[in-house]
Structure 1
Amino acid sequence: MRFQQSCRMAVWLVIAPLLLGGCSILREFGPVVEVHTLDAGEAIELKRGDILTRGKLSDATTQTIRVAALDAQACAKPISADCVEALAAVTGVAADRRLAALSELWLAQAQAMKPGSEQQAAWLETIRYAYAYLFFGDHTPGERAFEDRQTQVRDWYNYAVERAATGMFEVRQQMSTQLPAQTRWNIAGWELQLDMRSARLPGSTAVPAELLPASSLSFRGLRSLYRRDGFGAELVAVMPDEPLTSAPTRDGHPAAKRNQQPLPWSEMPAPSMTILLHPDGDDLDSVLHTRTVRLTVHDPYVESAIMLRGQRVPLAANFTAGYGLWLARANFNRQSLRSLLGREGGIDRPHVYLMQPYDPNRRIIVMLHGLASSPEAWVELANEILGDEALRQHYQIWQVYYPTNMPIALNHAMIRRALGDTLAHFDPSGQAPASSDLVLVGHSMGGVIARLMVSSTDQSLVQLAADRSRLTPQQIKRIDPMLRFEPFPHVGRAIFIAAPHRGTSVAGGRLGRWMAGFIRFPVTVLEELAHTLAPNAAASSHESLGHIPNSVDNLDENDPFVRAAADFPISAQVNYHSIVAQADPEVALVDSDDGLVPYRSAHLPGAQSEKIIISGHSVQQSAAAVLEIQRILREDIALREAHFMQP
């Protein structure tokens, strides 16, 4: 018996390794498939995590590699050319799975490479396979509309286009060659066809100074970032600087006196654009073997979608990045203070900034900031309008940046001229929709100037100048156009925000007088004014002009100018609205103020609406004021559409 047991044990010891080696069930002594419970975060990360978001291949790509009988660990290495070649040659895997995985593998390779031609080639391969998946795979983009995998592949395409385009731009900058609107050149073994026919760069500039990915820009000081999901790389083209100051020439005379005065307008110095790269080919095989790619540039304000391979494809866009970058780099806060004090480095005349390339079919919103301020005053309002799809389709924003130390009458005259010259440049015939029904939005002193622009005057200012100055009748006659005016043509609506139409006691108080004492006018302005009054006098005749009231003087509630201007009639053709700030809600409205401007000064009889907002004087930055202005603009759109629908 003991012998038999020993024999059985020996036999078992011989056959057990064979059984355990050939049967995984016996080897593991457990089930083939195990299940684990994931929380919501783990489940979403498993579905959507990829090489861009977590630094390793997506779960779907890893599964495709396994199904293709490839080594998943080897393929997960940053640079694995053998894995890419092997997966590309596999025929037993569905095209969608294979193309998506190849796009991510090439992206992983590109990220691991140093900048140069090899990396550029890897970006282009990423684009090739993503493009092939999106438009030549087993399904159309519309059929995959709700698939996470398509969103991943689109993101890989967009990112690779962003990196490839900025890399190509850097190469172009190093070459220092001017590229025409449509040309061809070679890069990383590919032939690039550059098509910029849809691009709209400011002015006559052919090439920007910088090309920045919008995704790399983060902003503080903005409540919202507005963009549109879609196809393509979101980029910002930074244009060369154009100084607004009239710098002296070598002989010491201001440039303005030598006919070198800058233009009174400029288009957005950092416009947003969307770039696409299209591998050549009309079918999957030709796309997978082409070495030609076409780069197209699109204006997101003009094109929201394009037709591509029979599909209507929404274009990606970023409407905040260019605007935010411009404000961040402009140093308006310092320059506006220098302008107020009349110091070097400030500005001495108004300048009109177009927040996007001029569009003849969008109506214009003109924004006028207040005392000691700049376009930074409109950071929230402008961003919200740019980000509002309905408003963006109907309006374009022009911001007037002006020296706030000047007498209000002089600033008003110069702003009128700057706006008129800008409109005449972009629409010489005056027939474009953009030139009709302008909307003026003015805050504080900008609101006073906006009111003058929609008002008509009589002899009162001329008589005031004769009574209060040492000017001769001939000199007063020369400045008569500044003192006698009619409403600026084609303004349909105006919004006055915390505007001291009847002045404020603060300007005439101790603080106001102290502040006014620091204000100086630039020599260029004094010389131009002296030349206007006495064309044949010497250049130094400005010293005999005597005291000229500055902007703070004009805002004193007892100043004759502001008292006269408050009674000028507003054009019957203009619909106007008031937004009034009330600092203390416990104070009766009629006795209240915003810390600077009393209600009785900001209130305008006859306004279509008057919105009271609990806020300090900088109410234009509040969310409540922005919402009110958006309401007014939407109402304006609805009224115009109803008017045009009438028989």
Structure 2
Amino acid sequence: MTFVNPIKNMVTHANKKSIPITSVALIAAMALLPACSTVSVNKQTSAKTITAQRGNIVTDNKLSSDTASALLSAGLNEQACMQQFDLCLTQLTDSILDEHHRSSLAIFSELHYAKARQLAKSQDCLNALSRPPLDPYYANAPLSDTEANAQQESTSRCLTGYQERLFNAIKYSYTYLFYDSLAHDFEGSAQGSSHSSTPNRIPNDTDIQTQDIYNAASNDVITQLYKAVDGSDKLMGDPQIEHLPIASTERDNSAQAAIANRAPLEGKTTDQVKVMKIQVDGYDLGVYLPNENSYLQNAHKQTSALADLVSTYDLRLSGLNSISKRPGLGISLVASLDDRYTTTIRQLLVSSLSGQSDDKKDNIDDSKPSSRIYPTGHLLLTGLIEPSGDSVLEVLDSRKLDIHLYNPYQSESVNILNNDYPLAANFSAGYGLWLSENQLDGVGYLNLITRQPEERLPKLFMLEPYDPNKRVLIMLHGLASSPATWVNLTNDILNDDKLRDNYQVWQIFYPTNLPILENRYQIQRLIDSTYQQTDPTGQNLASKNSVIISHSMGAVIARMMLSDENLVDDLDNLDDQNILSNSEKRKVRDALKASFGEAQLQERFKLQTLPQVDTAVFLSAPFRGTDYADRWFTRALRRVVYLPVGLVKTVTENLATIATKGDLADNPLGALYLQNGASQLSNKSSFIQLTKDLAINDRITYHSIIANNDADITKGLAEMQPGGARIDLSQAIEEDARGEAISASENADSDSAKLTDESLVAAVTIDENISQALTERLSDGIVPYTSAHLDGAASETVINGGHSIQENPQTILTLRRILHQQLNQ
């Protein structure tokens, strides 16, 4: 099949004489004499005007107004043009008289892409995807050999045309977008002329439309090539693939695919390494990946490490308060790894019935914390295709293209023809895919109420590949919850350029039915192991200045990980309510030692501050417990909260011989390990008695964010400390009888608006100068202020709302301010 190059034809015929203008005008005038033309003018909305101006084959599935006008001016019908495409290009070339040709590059790129889309939907190309007949005796019986050969030829011709049109769409749009950096091969377009170099040119509608075509065509090539390599799609024919050997280190000269290299090659991490060559229908394609081992550290296999490659063009993310994007060139992609961990409600229920966890079935020793550290299973990549060639005509004639896949966290821009351009990214895509395929909310609740054969130990999820140069945010959820509780907070961090560039998120998922002392011990072991695994020497920036953000029960656990007290010394101080004598207390304590061993008991009761953490934020924290845990409906719920059978058996076998009075779980010492986490949040529990006055290490800067569900009290606090008040503008303000808004801040001259009778306060940052009578009335409906307050906090903010304030915009804004402050300090 022969394909025309219209731009080359323009250059070839640039010097031909044209018909005199006077003759053309005379002929046109004579032709129009008998005609009657009526032009009408109608008003339309600006939105329709903009849509009509900016729409094209990508956005509206129809040609842009510029391309449609070019066809009409040449006397070409759009449908006829698609039917006789090469002839259409030739006739369109003859009709374009602009010697500089730049606008024609955009027109031809759109036409090629439109033709590629038409071919992709045609039956001839779709036959490549069809399955062989299931039954030769029915209507879908196999074709005869003659018919099959004819169909194969038509299909092959269609696929070849489809691929050619896609590649041409990329080449034409590429030359249009980077015209100013390419050498020009035709008359009147020399570098330095007024027509060719316009560095300060404002992007117009055609620029945006052509970038859309470049991205869309690149998206089709990259995703369909991946499917072809994977064997699941044939629209790219039968590509020939060669994986290139890469020596991972100087010592190790064995062939290692760069996607699984053990160490980066010489050079910068933003460099690209060629890992694959693909030949498809006369085109040579090179595939390049980032020069990093840490970003692709859990992609172990050369040919099948990426189980799926999804373009954000094909994703619609819902449930997120915003989508974190960086505009620029390229296609945002999410590569899902084949060995990624998933957790679902079905898996939990099956393991409950079978008596064996998924890890046990896979022969994984989940008692080791290292087995419960999960690097991200979704890698963000940005794809870009560059045709080879140093001039416009060289690019348009080129049959060699390079496919680059960048790490958007490391590469913010890309250099094309010695100019830097921003690189597109969608930072919410990987996070959204992870949340959608892991039923975290449901699993978190079922972990609480489902009787498990063995204790389910905490897991740590990295939301992006480990970066040694970013600080770590550790997030701990609350009772009957999961990492899904942090969705809006995490997404807002991703949406903040400075925070995204300086922090990486680790989220802990733990079973909230475990006794809190045991959860603290297991979570801290897990965090210690993660730092040790990622940075054994502790020299990375990621091992310093970490931040813990925690909610409710998670905040209680977090405070214990930031203290250096020995709780064994305080066991004798528990109020035994005359149930156990001192000698019986010692027997219970000795039995606990026998259950875990002396050393393990020390590890569980002797607290030690995480050395990597220097900042903590506590949300709605019941440090001194809550009577909510003792109300009738909560007590009923606590009865269906189960301890893991294995844990109960281990402890009770040692305690049963000495427990002579009452229920063992009601004894002060026994209750530390025989009450579930929900029961231990009661302000009467032994656990709260033991931990309510814990001191936080002096080097830790900590902040409290406390909810209050009484708007009048919040307003009272704001009136006492107006400098820290923020007026609630999350809802429209009521209007008076004249239709004028009653503004709470219309007379304000700063962010701290003057309070009026109509004011509703969203949040207030308070100091110590508030009355005890007022603080005793503060509560989020579950946790009172007196339980959540900690002396010595660097800041204390009261948010108007209920206990689940982690999704409140004011909470998220306060957290972002704290993180920015930490970076500045």
What TM-score bracket applies, with the shorter chain setting the length?
0.7 to 0.9
Q: Is the 8 A contact 1:507 1:513 kept in 2?
A: yes
Choose from 322, 325, 329 the match for 2:437.
329
The whole-number CA distance in structure 2 between the counterparts of 1:104 and 1:621 is 44
Equivalent runs, 1:298-313 vs 2, <5 Å: 298-313=406-421
Deviations 1:173-196 (A, max 9, x none): 117999543010123432211111
Q: 1:278 to 1:527 in 2, by over 3 A?
A: farther
For the residues of structure 2 that align with 1:379 and 1:412, how far apart are their CA atoms?
23
Deviations 1:600-634 (A, max 9, x none): 11111111111111111110011111011011111
Give the counterpart letter for 1:497 in structure 2: L
Partner of 1:195: 288
1:586 aligns with: 712
Give 2:208's match in structure 1, choosing from 128, 146, 151.
Answer: 151
Cα 1:109–1:45 change in 2 (3 A) is: same
- The residue number in structure 2 matching 1:571 is 697
- Residue 328 of structure 2 is matched in structure 1 by 230
Q: Deviations over 1:239-291 (max 9, x none)?
A: 33425689979x97765596543722112222322111111222212211111
2:172 is the alignment partner of 1:129: yes
Q: Deviations over 1:412-436 (max 9, x none)?
A: 1111111111111111111000110
2:247 aligned with 1:242, yes or no? no
Q: Is residue 476 of structure 2 the alignment partner of residue 368 of structure 1?
A: yes
In structure 2, what is the equivalent of residue 165 of structure 1?
222
* Alpha carbons 2:81, 2:88 under 8 Å: kept: no
C-alpha distance in 2 between matches for 1:400 and 1:351: 6
Is 1:626 matched with 2:734? no
2:290 alignment partner, SS class? coil
CA contact (8 A) 2:552 2:620 kept: yes
The aligned runs of 1:6-405 (5 Å cut-off) are 23-24=30-31, 26-28=33-35, 39-66=45-72, 69=74, 71-74=76-79, 77=82, 80-87=85-92, 92-93=97-98, 94-114=100-120, 117-118=159-160, 119-136=162-179, 139=196, 142-174=199-231, 180-181=257-258, 182-198=275-291, 200-201=295-296, 203-206=298-301, 207-240=305-338, 241-243=340-342, 256=360, 259-261=364-366, 263-343=371-451, 348-405=456-513
Q: Is 2:666 the counterpart of 1:558?
A: no
Distance 1:347 1:323, change over 3 A: farther
* Kept in 2: contact 1:65–1:71 (CA 8 A): yes
After TM superposition, list the pairs within 5 Å mapping 1:454-473 onto structure 2: 454-458=562-566, 459-460=568-569, 463=572, 466=586, 471=591, 473=593
Distance 1:24 1:331, change over 3 A: same
- Indicate how the Cα distance of structure 1 residues 467 and 494 shifts in structure 2: closer, same or farther if over 3 A, else same: farther
The alpha-carbon distance between structure 1 residues 278 and 409, as it changes in their structure 2 partners (threshold 3 A), is same
CA separation in 2, counterparts of 1:585 and 1:36? 53
Aligned residue for 2:231, secondary structure, equals helix
SS in 1 for 2:548: strand
Is the CA contact (8 Å cut-off) linking 2:356 and 2:453 kept in structure 1? no
SS of the counterpart of 1:209?
A: strand
Partners of 2:650 and 2:165 in 1: CA distance: 60
* Aligned-partner Cα distance in 1 for 2:289–2:231: 20
Aligned-partner Cα distance in 1 for 2:467–2:373? 15
Note if 1:507 corresponds to 2:629: yes
Whether the 8 Å CA contact 1:70–1:83 is kept in 2: the answer is no
Out of 372-381 and 293-302, give the one that drifted further. Answer: 293-302
- For 1:483 and 1:314, how far apart are their aligned partners in 2? 52
Once the 2 structures are TM-superposed, how far is the Cα of residue 525 of structure 1 from its aligned partner?
4.9
- Counting only pairs closer than 5 Å after superposition, residues 487-502 of structure 1 correspond to structure 2 as 487-502=609-624
User: Which deviates more from structure 2 when the two are superposed, residues 563-572 or residues 75-84?
Assistant: 75-84
Is this contact kept in 2: 1:455–1:569, CA < 8 A?
yes
Do 1:278 and 1:295's aligned partners in 2 also have CA atoms closer than 8 Å? yes
Aligned in 2, Cα 1:527/1:145: closer, same or farther, shift over 3 Å? Answer: farther
Aligned-partner SS, 1:593: coil
Distance (Å, rounded) in 2 between the aligned partners of 1:332 and 1:306? 37
Compared CA separation, residues 204 and 50, structure 1 to 2 (3 A): closer
User: Is the 2:627–2:682 contact (alpha carbons within 8 Å) kept by the matching residues of 1?
Assistant: yes
Structure 1: gaps of 5 or more residues: 1-18, 534-544, 640-647
C-alpha contact (below 8 Å) 2:375/2:462 kept by paired residues: yes
Q: Quote the sequence identity (%).
A: 30
Tell me how far apart the structure 1 counterparts of residues 198 and 445 of structure 2 sit (CA, whole Å).
53
How far 1:82 sits from its partner (Å)? 2.6
Alignment RMSD, CA only? 3.4
Q: Decide whether the 8 Å contact of 2:624 with 2:692 is kept in 1.
A: yes
Distance 1:123 1:523 in 2: 60
Provide the C-alpha distance between the structure 2 equivalents of 1:90 and 1:24, rounded to a whole number of angstroms.
Answer: 19
Shift of 1:526: 5.4
Match of 1:432 in 2: 540
- Asked if 1:447 corresponds to 2:567, the answer is no
Q: Please list every run of 5 or more consecutive structure 2 residues that lacks an aligned counterpart in the other structure.
A: 1-25, 121-125, 129-158, 181-188, 190-195, 234-240, 244-256, 259-274, 575-584, 656-669, 714-773
Matched, 1:616 2:795: no
Instruction: Trace 1:414-433 onto structure 2 (pairs within 5 A).
Output: 414-433=522-541
The 2-side partners of 1:432 and 1:531 are apart by 45
Normalising by structure 1, report the TM-score: 0.86
Q: Secondary structure at the match of 1:580?
A: strand
Instruction: After superposing the two structures, state which structure 1 stretch, 52-61 or 616-625, moved more.
Output: 52-61
Distance 1:79 1:299, change over 3 A: farther
1:216 offset after TM fit, Å? 2.6
- Alpha-carbon distance in structure 2 between the residues aligned to 1:389 and 1:441: 19
Distance in 2, matches of 1:397 and 1:292, equals: 40
Aligned mate of 1:406, from 507, 514, 538: 514
Instruction: Choose 121-130 or 141-150, whichever is displaced more.
Output: 141-150
> For 1:88 and 1:429, how far apart are their aligned partners in 2?
66
Q: Matched residues in 2 for 1:125 and 1:347: separation?
A: 59
TM-superposed CA distance for 1:319, in Å, is 1.2
Cα pair distance change 1:559/1:111, threshold 3 Å: same
CA gap of 1:430–1:178, structure 2 versus 1, over 3 A, is farther
Structure 1 residue 132: Cα displacement: 1.5
Distance change >3 Å, CA 284–CA 528, structure 1 → 2: farther
Contact 2:648–2:674 (Cα < 8 Å) also in 1: no
Task: Tell me the matched-pair count.
Answer: 610
Alpha-carbon deviation of 1:39?
4.4
Alpha carbons of structure 1 residues 574 and 342: separation in structure 2 relative to 1, 3 Å: same
Deviation of 1:101 (Å): 0.8
